């Protein structure tokens, strides 16, 4: 019943080595049997089901890196339950951060991962080498016609990926179906004029019973990607969206409502694991997150770790695009290239409007700037 | 297009009054138009769509309570988008805590809320006055037969609600369908002997494409409630589960993977709003959370605030049961009664096994203790 195969999680635990070991022993029970230690049945449960401390390494006087392994069978091949074993109940305990995750092929095989990945997305967009250019249609309150005009201009100016702002869902200002139909048409029209292969990516974050309807509608009218906020709709909902062969569209993950996992230094999930490893397991081809130096507070090092997480080896699970955005300006691009290299998607929303009065020209300037640099 | 109706959120913002006002102005933009202030179009968008600061009250030298209102239309009648406006992008910014939410009837009408609520659950269980008794089947690794025997004994001993441990999904040790069938039968058999109305509540937290299948299977074989971890499966997935008329079962919300919203004092969602208000909006009839004094770190005051959140007036949205658990012992009950009063569900898992060697007797002791006290 137990294969002996195990997956492991590196946790950073606050406390001295002695305290960390105590905390680690507690995690071994809490995340599996959730039972008083003295009552855990002997045999298979005690020997295999209970988590196992593999190593303890002090990293300062006040924290340790601890590796704990779990039987592959505890995760039941389910993303929901895998996340539960990794960080379910202990998300409620202070002083525990999930740093990295290591899954053997016997568990990875349960997950398809990104359908496109970096290579597939580059192929779809016809952009073999340079960083990808990404923008968002906004502000909320504009009419569908205004948003479609903006989509047209962005595509005309050479932006590769044009997405809904993540706050656009089905508001009266620009109802979903009308918006998606017109924006898709607008981008297709621009592509005919430019010869480029820009894609429009609607936001399908929606109530449970409407999300797949919206995704199917998008596919029907010719949209070429989907964005979802997994913390609002469910990480496994994103996984299902990515796995759906009748959709077969690239998926972009948006970090709305996800921030609390990374804002505390003493509880949560590392940038590397959350925006890199877990987002890939959940099928996204690109992960949106706030870049350093913008209007959010991620550090340069945290962003670098996200980029590492998007490409760290994970068996057959493909590398994906880091999509740093969030108050980015065109001026930040040279510095971002230094950190991310070519395999990055620059997401500029408001900053693209700020540059000058003509949106098409601003987009061209953005594209030329990137083309010249690489 | 804009009704003029607004909902509001009380945020606690870290910083002096001046800093808090700056942060609040930023929230007004970030959560709606996500656009540079100077570029926000005049008219409807600037006047209505952008969030509005309604009040700023310093609560210490280093923090303020700030009320911000948003146009009802920004939420589009969707739980996913409502949560996005309340805390989407700003979940990524430090120093912001959602304290309380106020929704007008024009927005509340989009949500059915708990189907049973406190009254409905008491009626289902035939327990008009006293606190409800709740336990969990565990540890993971036991066979279906062993879990069913445990369910039988708990029901025989007078426990009202017998749930799967939240880590039991579809593992090889006790596969879902077999477990749910046998545990349902076991509890029904005990009810025939006792005349009680105990219910078995399987955990339906599962991958997107299996969750409703599992819930329907549970209904078919006669299970009388469902448990879900909304942070793993999606808060709106729980809402859909509660709203499904073909299921029409009480829903219990489990806090696995949800803790990071409440573990930091400077970023997240208050216990009151998350485990009370939001969980009710998302349709749960009972909310499981770690009690003070157990093996987690919630304070007595935080737990009291959760209980308040489960019953604070929210239009037609019914009050629900707080279900404090997490390392609770029988000895803690008198003190818990002081904090929660009668409208509480005591969740004891491992502690019930610790009391003595005979599980049925332990359950009887637990029940008699509670019956005597109220």
Residues of B in contact with A138 (CB under 8 A): 33-35
Identify which of A359, A292, A295 has the alpha carbon closest to the alpha carbon of residue A137. Answer: A359
| Inter-chain touch B171–A76, beta carbons under 8 Å | yes
Q: Which residue did the predictor score with more confidence, B128 or B326? A: B128
Span A14-67, pLDDT tens digits: 999 999 999 999 999 999 999 999 999 999 999 999 999 999 999 999 999 999
The closest alpha carbon to B310, from B279, B269, B350, B342, belongs to B279
What pLDDT is attached to residue B310? 98
Indicate whether A351 pLDDT > 90. Answer: no
Closest by Cβ to B140, choosing from A1, A49, A93: A49
Per-residue pLDDT band for A329 (boundaries 50, 70, 90) equals confident
> Rounded mean pLDDT of B14-25?
97
A182-193 pLDDT per residue, tens? 999 999 999 999
Q: What is the pLDDT of residues A294-313, one digit of tens each?
A: 778 899 999 999 999 999 99
A233 contacts chain B (CB < 8 A): yes
pLDDT computed for residue B328 by the predictor: 81
Chain B residues 123-152 within an 8 A CB cutoff of chain A:
136, 138-142
The angle subtended at Cα B160 by Cα B157 and Cα B161, nearest 5°, is 115
Residue B191's pLDDT is: 98
Tens digit of each residue's pLDDT (9 = 90 or more) over B79-123: 999 999 999 999 999 999 999 999 999 999 999 999 999 999 999
- Decide if pLDDT at B274 tops 80: yes
pLDDT for B351: 84
Say if B357 is an interface residue toward chain A (CB within 8 Å). no
User: Which of B36, B92, B170, B306 has the most A C-beta neighbours within 10 Å, making it the best mutation to test the interface with A?
Assistant: B92
pLDDT band at A69 (very low <50, low <70, confident <90, very high): very high
Structure tokens at B305: 């605030």
- Amino acid B294: pLDDT: 79
A326: confidence class by pLDDT, cuts 50, 70, 90: confident
ipTM of the complex: 0.98
Specify the pLDDT at position B297. Answer: 85
Is the pLDDT score of B367 beyond 80? Answer: yes
Question: What pLDDT score was predicted for residue B1?
Answer: 80
SS3 annotation, A27-63: HHHHCCCCCCHHHCCCCHHHHHHCCEEEEEEEEECCE
**Residues of B in Cβ contact (< 8 Å) with A234:** 208, 232-234, 236-237
Domains of chain A from N-terminus onward:
6-108 (3.30.70.150), 117-373 (3.20.20.110)
Residue range B254-277: mean pLDDT, rounded: 97
Both tokens assigned to A244: 């759906």
The shortest C-alpha distance from A120 to chain B (Å) reads: 25
pLDDT in tens, A80-130: 999 999 999 999 999 999 999 999 999 999 999 999 999 999 999 999 999
Partner B contacted by A212 (CB < 8 A): no
* pLDDT(B327) > 80: no
Structure tokens at B20: 């808090």
pLDDT of residue A327 exceeding 80, the answer is no
Within the 174-193 window of chain B, which residues sit less than 8 Å (CB to CB) from chain A? none
Least confident of A69-73, A301-305, A324-328, B47-51: A324-328
Does B235 have pLDDT greater than 80?
Answer: yes
User: CA-based diameter of chain B, in Å?
Assistant: 72
The answer to whether the beta carbons of residues A356 and A362 sit under 8 Å apart is yes
Q: Does residue A264 sit at the B interface (CB-CB below 8 Å)?
A: yes
Q: pLDDT tens digits for A211-225?
A: 999 999 999 999 999
Q: Average pLDDT of chain A?
A: 96
> What size, in residues, is chain A?
374
Q: Are A11 and A97 in contact (CB under 8 A)?
A: yes
Residue whose token pair is 């008329």: B245
What's the pLDDT at B60? 93
The three-state secondary structure class of A189 is helix
Residues B144-151: what's their mean pLDDT? 98
Contact A260 B260 (CB under 8 A): yes
pLDDT for B268 beyond 80? yes
d(CA A242, CA B58): 46
The rounded distance, in Å, linking the Cα atoms of A303 and A294 is 12
Residue B355 has pLDDT above 90, yes or no: no
Report how far Cα A52 is from the mean position of its chain's Cα atoms: 29
């Amino acid at each position: 019943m137990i294969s002996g195969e195990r997956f492991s999680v590196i946790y950073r635990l606050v406390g001295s080595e002695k305290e960390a070991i105590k905390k680690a022993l507690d995690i071994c029970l809490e995340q599996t049997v959730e039972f008083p230690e003295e009552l855990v049945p002997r045999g298979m449960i005690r020997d295999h089901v209970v988590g196992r401390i593999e190593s303890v390494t002090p990293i300062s006087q006040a924290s340790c890196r601890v590796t704990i392994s779990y039987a592959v069978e505890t995760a039941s091949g389910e993303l929901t339950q895998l996340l539960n074993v990794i960080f379910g109940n202990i998300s409620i305990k202070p002083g525990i951060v999930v740093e990295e995750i290591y899954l053997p092929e016997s568990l990875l095989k349960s997950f398809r991962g990104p359908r496109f990945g970096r290579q597939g997305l580059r192929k779809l967009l016809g952009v073999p080498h340079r960083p990808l250019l990404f923008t968002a249609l906004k502000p909320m309150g504009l009419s569908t016609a205004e948003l479609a005009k903006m989509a047209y201009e962005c595509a005309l100016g050479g932006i590769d990926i044009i997405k809904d702002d993540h706050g656009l869902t089905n508001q009266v200002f620009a109802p979903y179906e009308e918006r998606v139909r017109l924006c898709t048409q607008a981008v297709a029209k621009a592509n005919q004029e430019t010869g480029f292969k820009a894609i429009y990516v609607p936001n399908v974050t929606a109530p449970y019973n409407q999300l797949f309807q919206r995704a199917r509608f998008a596919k029907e009218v010719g949209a070429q990607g989907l964005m979802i906020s997994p913390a609002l709709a469910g990480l496994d909902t994103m996984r299902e969206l990515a796995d759906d062969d009748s959709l077969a569209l690239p998926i972009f993950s948006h970090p709305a409502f996800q921030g609390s996992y990374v804002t505390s230094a003493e509880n949560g999930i590392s940038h590397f694991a959350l925006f890199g490893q877990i987002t890939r397991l959940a099928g996204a081809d690109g992960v949106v997150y706030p870049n350093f130096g913008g209007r959010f507070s991620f550090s340069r090092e945290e962003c670098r770790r996200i980029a590492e997480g998007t490409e760290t080896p994970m068996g057959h699970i493909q590398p994906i695009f880091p999509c740093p955005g969030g108050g980015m300006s065109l001026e930040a691009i040279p510095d971002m290239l230094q950190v991310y290299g070519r395999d990055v998607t620059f997401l500029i929303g408001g900053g693209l409007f700020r540059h000058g009065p003509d949106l098409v020209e601003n987009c061209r300037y953005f594209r030329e700037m990137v083309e010249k640099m690489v």
